[in-house]
Amino acid sequence: MNALLALARVIDALNERIGRAVTWLVLVAVVISAANAIVRKAFDMSSNAFLEIQWYLFSAVFLLCSAWTLLRNEHIRIDVFAGRFTRRTQTWIDVFGTVFFLFPMTLLILYESVPWAWRAMQSGEISGSAGGLILWPAKILVPVGFALLLLQGVSELIKRIAFLRGLAPDPTERYHEKSPEELLAEEILRQRGEAT
């Protein structure tokens, strides 16, 4: 089990790095969108490439950050029923959902998307819009994103089985990183406590 937990930590580290890096694409998309709007209003000019690159960036964020979202336990859950159960029962529900829903879905999408992306790459597929971009880089994001999600599913399954065996902490705890505002509030309270 220790080797499997080490593998889970490697997968977690990979998706943590990718997720944190890809979040910067949101800023890039906003800057491109703002520049496009300014150029369109100020100079009455625009390009489909500006619109398509925003779609590509949004797709990259969505697809490449889905595994990071699962890692941080921030994915959508239906806690109406599961919230009433014990942590062990919730973990068993997660194991069931991972094995019978997450894995089949990701494997099916990978099975369908790899040849689809490969054909687009081989043909050099481009957008049908005037001034559009090449499509294959965006299409490659689909199998890459789902491969990362599949890997994260493996990691989550390992961690949940380890928890059920008493070898790891509770993986159902939501990841919470303090916001800058929360850190500032804590610092202010700490300084007030020292001043009195």
Residue 193 belongs to some domain of the structure: no
In this prediction, residue 73 has a pLDDT band, given cuts at 50, 70 and 90, of confident
* Predicted confidence band of residue 175 (pLDDT cuts 50, 70, 90): low
Is residue 189 included in any domain, yes or no?
no
Residue with tokens 């977690």: 12
b/e for 43-76, b at 16 or more Cβ within 10 A? eeeebebbbbbbebbebbbebbbbbbbbbbeeee
Structural domain containing residue 27? 2-183
The pLDDT of residue 176? 64
| Chain segment 127-171, per-residue pLDDT in tens | 888 777 888 999 999 999 999 999 999 999 999 999 999 888 887
Has residue 70 got a pLDDT over 70? yes
Tell me what the mean pLDDT of segment 75-80 comes to: 71
Task: Identify whether 135 is part of a domain.
Answer: yes
- For the chain, the average pLDDT equals 89
What is the Cα–Cα distance from 19 to 175, expressed in whole angstroms? 14
Total structural domains in the chain? 1
Any domain includes 195: no
Contact present, 133 and 127 (Cβ < 8 Å): yes
